[in-house]
Each structure stands twice: as C-alpha cells, then as structure tokens.
Structure 1
Amino acid sequence: MEMVAEGELSQGMRMPTVREVAGALGMSPAGVAAAWRELVDWRVLETKRRGGTTVLGPALPRRATRYDVMMKASEGIPLNLGHLTPDKSILPPLDRAFAAALRDARVHDAAPAPISEMLREAVEPNWPFQPGFMMATHGGIAAAELALQTSVRPGDRVIVDSPTVSRILDILESLGARAVPVTYREGGPDLGELRKALAMRPAAFVYQPVGNHPTGWSVTPDWIRQAADLLAEAHMPIIELVQAPLMHAQPWLSLGTRLPRIVVHVHAYNFFTGTDLRVGVVGGSDYYIDRMWQKLTFSSGWVSRILQNALAFQLTDPGALNSLRTYVETCRQRHGTMLDSLGRVGFTLPRTDGPTIWLPVPDEYVVTNQLSSRGIVVHPGSYFSPAPLASDHVLINGAALGGGHDMVAEAIGSIISGMFRRSSEIIDL
C-alpha cells in the first residue's frame, strides 16, 4: 500500500503472480493470496479472471456509497421527497424536554450506563417482549451497525429483507460481508427464500418487522410463528430494525416473543424528534447486546443522559405526548393525501401506515432524473436492494409534503405517460 501511495507501483501496472511473490519472499502462496484479497478489498489492486492483477491506485477509505449518492442527488433541489427525514416545521417542540432532562441527578456522572432510568421506564412497558438487556444508541442505524460489527466478519453472509434500508447495505459492504436478499412480500419476508438462505450458514439476519422501509409492509402473527419455527435452532443474531415505530399501531410484532435469546430489537425515534435528538433504543438478547455495550465502552461512545432523558420526556409527559400524537396524525394524513393524489393519476397502491410510499414505475432512472429537473427528489428503488428487483420503483416520503400533493402526482404521471407515448411511437416506426 505504501509503494502504491508513493508511486513506486504505478496505476495500471501489472503485478507478478501469487506464486512469484511467494517464492521471492519465502512465504506460502496462501499467505500472499490472503494479502492480495485484502488489497483488492481496499481497492488498491484489481484481479480479473485471465487478466491478472493490476494496480488501481492508493487505498481509498470505504464509503457509504448509496448514502453519498442520495445526499449528492438532493443538493440544491428545492423539494426533497426521498429522504426519510421529518418536516421540522411540524415537529413537537423540545425546549421543555431538555429542561426536564437536566433535572436528572445523574447528569454529568462519570460512570456510564447502557440506558438512563428515565428512558428505560419510558420504553420498556411498550417493548414487544421482555428484553434481557436494553441500551441507548445514537439512532437506530447506529444500533444496527453496532450489532453487525460485533457479530459479522469479512466474508460472512448476512440475510437481509429486500428491499431494505440502504444504509444497511452500505454497512455490510464496509464490513466485507455478503448480503443475501429475502424478498419482503405483503405479510413479511418470503419464508421459502428464508429457508434457502439459512442453508448458507449466515452470520446474522437483519429485517424490519414493522413498517419495512421502503415498502411500508409489516409482518403478521402467522409470519412470526412460521419464521420462529424456521429459526428455532439458529445461532446468530436476528436484528430487527423499526425505523418509525410510533407511526404504527401497537402491539408491535417481534420474533423476540418466541426467540428472546437471539433477537436484537431496535427502535429509532429521530423521525419524531428531529435530527439533533438522534436516539435509538435496542433491547433483547443479553448476550448480543452486552457485546454491543462493551464495544461502546472502549471509546466512551455511550449516549448522553441529557439526550436520553429528553427523549424519555417526549414519550411520557402528557403535554409532550399530545404534541407527538398531533405530529403522528399529521404525518399519517399527509401520507394518505399523497396516496390519494397518486391514485387520481392511475396508481393503485396498498394503504400502509407510512411514512414511505413504494411506487412502481417503468424506469426508475428516467423518473428520478426528470423529477430532479423539475426540482423534486425521489430515490431509485435499486438503492434499497443488494440484487436487481423484479420491477422498478421509486421511494417517496409520503409525510414530507404539507401541500401540493396533486402537483407532485401529476408530474410523476406526466413523466410516465410521456415514456409510454414515446415507446408507442417507436413501435409504430
């Protein structure tokens, strides 16, 4: 890596074979091959079948590729309907929450705790099963990343629901793990595909039991029963990520009711509190979550009690709860209004709790590019799957708009009508 960075090995240079390097260094070919694979992972070298190994250039840090692309796609675009971010103009106020958080006698206590007493008392009564261990994290995605970091090694296979949260796919790539997709159908991830995926000896299973992002679907009690039977002998973490729990009516379903020893259940709350109060809660398997907690203690990465207690206040204070319920109801109304507007231009879509809308389109890149030229951002469906999907989709945050739903729907409808019209003209020619 140093030789490439310093120019001794130039970009495009063809490298000697593994056997030649092993002979020159007095190493085993297997040891050299392992080093070559690591350099390929770092994008320093590239190996092609029949083409040998060549130098690509200096090592580049791993990036959250999908996240970077989605962020850049929204730069300078007035109307962002792609990101799952709350409309800050309608978020419940936080001033009373932070004032209450500071009254905790343990604020500034040097001894860390996995979760503050106030936050545990706020969330545990509504947890979908009795957790063996609970802790707070810097958001739901941070919890999922931590669970994967402490359980998955390079080369491992990890089962994921498909489509899924794009950040999960970025995390798996950064870990050098291979995502094994299982199609999320109405009612839950496909059980036949899950059975086949389990035969590959995966290191973890990541899925969304409630409000799959981006489809909005949730599992059913029957799915929980059948999946629990399939996973009864599993020796791996089952990581359940819920991106917007308060949008969905309780009781929330979880495999933790059947398999508490291996389930890591995650709730993210920043959709209801805003990006600066980014707190997630994870509860479930004491074995796997204790490993997550121990990892955090190396770098004092635990969550401030002030942030935890502010979230607890928002979830328990009567006045704050009223504001939160109003916010959730507004998001649901906006989501329903967007579905109605799309229905008027010809889309028949399932009624989910939102906030996401998974819209089928003939060509996701034509739709996203043309909407972008009109000042509207939506994201292509391919960003949410590790493998090609059966059909093209775009993701819309159905709760983002306070008005103008018909305008957005008509823009999408006109783009698709134009695509069909051009196709018809080509066929006639």
Structure 2
Amino acid sequence: MTESRNAHWFAERLTDRTIRGIALETRALIRAGALPVGTKLPPIRDLAFALGVSPATISEAWSELRRHKIISGRGRNGTWVSGDRFVAKPHRLGSSGIYGDGILNLTAAVPDMRLLPPLAEAMAYGASAENLNSYERNRILPELEEEVRKKWPYEPEAFLATNGGYNAVYTLVHALLPPGASVAIEDPTGMRLLDILEDRGVRIVPVQCDGEGPMPSALETAMKSKPIAFIFQPRLHSVTGQGVSQARLEALAAVLKDTDTLIVEDDGIGDISAAPRHSLGAYFPNRLIHILSFSKTHGPDLRLAVLSSSRTIIDQIQSYRSFSAGWTSRILQAATAWLLRDPETQESVDRARMLYHERRANLVNALQQRGIGAMHGEGLCAWVPVSSEPFAMVTLAAHGIAVHPGAKFSILPTYYLRVATATLSDRYESVADSIALAAGT
C-alpha cells in the first residue's frame, strides 16, 4: 500500500523555506528513509499553505527533485517518491547493455581502433609542449590554434581547447543555458546531447530533419518557443549519416536572422566526412559556437576538441571551467597539433574515411536489396526504418545482434534502428537478412 505524508508532517520537518532549502531537506528525508520510495506527497497548494510559501516555491523545489528522477508525477494523479539515489546519470547512455562474446555488437558508433593513427611520436612531442606543467590557465596552445585555423570554416574571434566534444557541449550548456530555458535541437540527434540537456533541466524543442538537414519550416516553428539556443550538426549528422547542404545552411540562416538565439554547431565526426567544412559563423559570429572533435578521426584518448566563438562567449565558458580543470592538457594539445601537421596521419585519416564509407555503403546496399529504405550517406552508422522498434530489437537479439532503438536519439515517436557500421567489415548479407526480418516489411 502506498504511504503518504500530509502537509503538517512536512511543516514540522522543513526548516529552510527557500526553493533550494525545501529541495535539499526533502532529499535528506528521502535519503534517511523517512520518505520511502512510493510515498505520496501532499498537494502543492496544501504544502505551500502549511509552510507559508507560495505554490510556485514548492513547484520549483519539486522540479529540481523531478529533474534528478527522485520524485515523479504531477497534476491530479499526485506526486510520489520514485527514487532514493541522488547521483545524476545519463539516462540514454546509461541504459546501454553489456553484451557477451557471442553477440555482434552494433550499438557503438565509434571508430575502428585499427584505423586510428599511431600516437607514440605525437605524445612524445607533446611532452615538450610550451609552458608544460604550469598552472596558468591556458585556453589553447598557439601551435594548435595555428593548425586548426588553416581549415576552420569561418574566421572567429577566439578559440578554446576542451576535453573532447561532449565536454565542450556539457561545459557551454552549464555556462550559458539556465535550467528551464527552451533549447531547439535537431531531431533525431546524439543521445548524449539529449542526456546533457535533460540533466540541465532545459525544455527540449525538437527540430525535425530531412535528407539535407534541419528543416527550415520546423526551425521556424521551434522559434515560436523563443529558444535560448539552437544546436545542430552542420556538416554530417552523426545518427542519420546525412549532410547539410549549402542551400539548407543559407535557409537556416534566414530563419535565425531576426532572432537572438545562440547557435551551437557540433562537428563530432570531423574529417570522417568527405564534405567540406561549413558554418553559420560568417552570418552570426557574435552568437555562434562551433565545435570540432578529434576523437573519431585521431583518437578518443586524445580527449580533445576545439571550439570557437566570440571573445565574450569564450570568456563565459572559460569562467565556468574554472570550477574544475580550468584548462586542457598541454601535452594533448601539442600532440594534436603534431598530428595535424603530419602527412602520414592525414593519409591514415583519409584511408579510414574511405573504409567507413565502404562499410556503411555495403550494409545499406544489402538492406536496399531487401526492400529496406535505408539511405546512403557517410559516417559510422546507418539509420534504418522499421515498423516497430520493440519487435525489431527482440528479433535482432534472437539473432545475436545488438543495435540501438531510434527512441534513444529523439524525444518524438520513432520507427528506426541505429546500426553501427564502423567495425562491420564483413557479414553484411547475414546482418541485412536479420534486419529485414526485424523491420517487419
């Protein structure tokens, strides 16, 4: 039977009547077991009256607990304690399975380790980086900035090195986006991007995509929510494998022209794409952030990405970073600069791009031959339409194949599978046979 606690019970135990105080003291009661999982909480208005605060104060405190999935429910159905753990975790990423040796794991759209360039010489060079071991908060090494500027898609005011692409997104989201704000983001999108935004407590406004990128009409609709930011992948969509055309980029610029929305461009795939780098930076240099990650092309253990923006925005992001590391390893920055100058590394990246394209194309060709409407493109995975995601997942599991459901990459209803292809160097026909059965076509 579900327990309940009335407003008087809370009034005797909550001494700090601020939003933060109510949230923290309620957490403490849950942690101590005084409010077990399943306990029904009193109506907001009753509790507000008992505590002598406004209903909005209780609502905001409950929103904080709801964000961490400690309480659930709202409205006429009531609110109850749904969890007793207080460590935030990425819901989508955290729900990924652990698979045995007999399972063909096509969940991780990550680079094939055999195709990454060797790092020994680069790391040895990095150990002699300028100003090594100084506690000076270095934003980016001059030699790394010099190298990235050579191919950067626009001329920015300032650069910042970060500890990888998702670290860049996480940091800017916390530095620039307040909880409760609206954020427009292309749909589908990276599941870790959704995890970061949900953890921040922002309102996610999906912008649907087609074969050329985010649709201008969908972005226009999203703008009615007055989003504080718009996040998209300007070069190659990491989930669908489709690129953004120059014409589409110009159409998006027209929609964003008369707004003050912050624009975040996330190039997490880098030169795995054969498409030229491009950006809205030439249109909106003072409110655009462009991120380029080197994890997929040069190695995830480099833990390195570079972002560009105005000096004002870089200052804000760097100020937030001062709460933690404050700067990115000079060793890794110098090593990356060395790799960007090295002709053999460039050859390695070019070869990897060709093989990733070939592997993806081989699976898509096999699927199309079986009547599955997967689209050709680039990148490390394929976006495969199915009639039912649950049925498809169960069917593939029975055939010893693990993939991700499309639902992990969207907040809208989806009928897709994301199938990683980067390490799929054979078995195209048997995998396509299994997917055809799973697709229910």
Q: How far, CA to CA, are the matches of 1:250 and 1:13 in structure 2?
A: 54
Q: How far, CA to CA, are the matches of 1:137 and 1:325 in structure 2?
A: 24
Q: CA deviation at 1:195?
A: 0.9
Q: Give the % identical residues.
A: 31
Question: Does 2:92 align with 1:100?
Answer: no
Contact 1:84 1:271 (C-alpha < 8 Å) held by counterparts: no
Question: Does 2:75 align with 1:49?
Answer: yes
Select between 80-89 and 174-183 the one with higher mean Cα deviation. Answer: 80-89
Q: CA deviation at 1:166?
A: 0.7
**1:282 and 1:77, CA in 2 relative to 1: closer, same or farther beyond 3 A?**
farther
Question: Does 2:227 align with 1:207?
Answer: no
Contact 1:338 1:405 (C-alpha < 8 Å) held by counterparts: yes
Q: How far, CA to CA, are the matches of 2:295 and 2:277 in structure 1?
A: 18
**For residue 418 of structure 2, what is the aligned residue in structure 1?**
395
Choose which of 45, 53, 63 in structure 2 pairs with 1:37.
63
Q: CA deviation at 1:87?
A: 1.2
Contact 2:386 2:438 (C-alpha < 8 Å) held by counterparts: no
Q: CA deviation at 1:305?
A: 1.1
Q: How far, CA to CA, are the matches of 2:430 and 2:394 in structure 1?
A: 17
Give the secondary structure class of the aligned counterpart of 1:255: coil
**For residue 116 of structure 1, what is the aligned residue in structure 2?**
141
TM-score by length of 2: 0.88
Contact 1:77 1:372 (C-alpha < 8 Å) held by counterparts: no
Q: CA deviation at 1:4?
A: 2.2
Contact 1:313 1:320 (C-alpha < 8 Å) held by counterparts: no
Structure 1 regions of 5+ residues with no counterpart? 421-429
Q: How far, CA to CA, are the matches of 1:349 and 1:53 in structure 2?
A: 43
Contact 1:67 1:166 (C-alpha < 8 Å) held by counterparts: yes
Choose which of 129, 140, 144 in structure 1 pairs with 2:165.
140
Instruction: Please list, as runs of the form range in 1=range in 2, the aligned pairs for 1:304-323 lying within 5 A after superposition.
Output: 304-323=329-348
Question: Does 2:237 align with 1:237?
Answer: no
**For residue 8 of structure 1, what is the aligned residue in structure 2?**
34
**For residue 115 of structure 2, what is the aligned residue in structure 1?**
90
Contact 2:271 2:349 (C-alpha < 8 Å) held by counterparts: no
Question: Does 2:402 align with 1:404?
Answer: no
Select between 178-187 and 293-302 the one with higher mean Cα deviation. Answer: 293-302
Question: Does 2:228 align with 1:228?
Answer: no
Contact 1:92 1:327 (C-alpha < 8 Å) held by counterparts: no
Q: CA deviation at 1:351?
A: 2.6
Instruction: Please list, as runs of the form range in 1=range in 2, the aligned pairs for 1:16-415 lying within 5 A after superposition.
Output: 16-70=42-96, 72=97, 74=99, 78-389=103-414, 392-415=415-438
Select between 14-23 and 374-383 the one with higher mean Cα deviation. Answer: 14-23
**1:15 and 1:337, CA in 2 relative to 1: closer, same or farther beyond 3 A?**
closer
Give the secondary structure class of the aligned counterpart of 2:266: strand
Aligned length: 415
**For residue 15 of structure 2, what is the aligned residue in structure 1?**
none
Q: How far, CA to CA, are the matches of 2:165 and 2:363 in structure 1?
A: 26
Deviations 1:55-112 (A, max 9, x none): 3343532221110112x25465642222121111222211111112223232223212
Give the secondary structure class of the aligned counterpart of 1:276: helix
**1:15 and 1:377, CA in 2 relative to 1: closer, same or farther beyond 3 A?**
closer
Q: How far, CA to CA, are the matches of 1:100 and 1:216 in structure 2?
A: 35
Q: How far, CA to CA, are the matches of 1:358 and 1:19 in structure 2?
A: 47
Deviations 1:163-183 (A, max 9, x none): 111111111110111110011
Q: CA deviation at 1:205?
A: 0.6
**1:57 and 1:375, CA in 2 relative to 1: closer, same or farther beyond 3 A?**
closer
Contact 2:160 2:307 (C-alpha < 8 Å) held by counterparts: yes
**1:310 and 1:12, CA in 2 relative to 1: closer, same or farther beyond 3 A?**
same
Q: CA deviation at 1:338?
A: 2.3
Contact 2:184 2:231 (C-alpha < 8 Å) held by counterparts: yes
Contact 1:241 1:266 (C-alpha < 8 Å) held by counterparts: yes
Give the secondary structure class of the aligned counterpart of 1:328: helix
Deviations 1:153-202 (A, max 9, x none): 22111001001111111111101111100111111211111112111111
Contact 1:219 1:253 (C-alpha < 8 Å) held by counterparts: no
Give the secondary structure class of the aligned counterpart of 1:4: helix
Q: How far, CA to CA, are the matches of 2:66 and 2:50 in structure 1?
A: 21
Q: How far, CA to CA, are the matches of 2:302 and 2:167 in structure 1?
A: 14
Q: How far, CA to CA, are the matches of 1:357 and 1:180 in structure 2?
A: 24
Amino acid aligned to 2:422: A
Amino acid aligned to 2:248: W
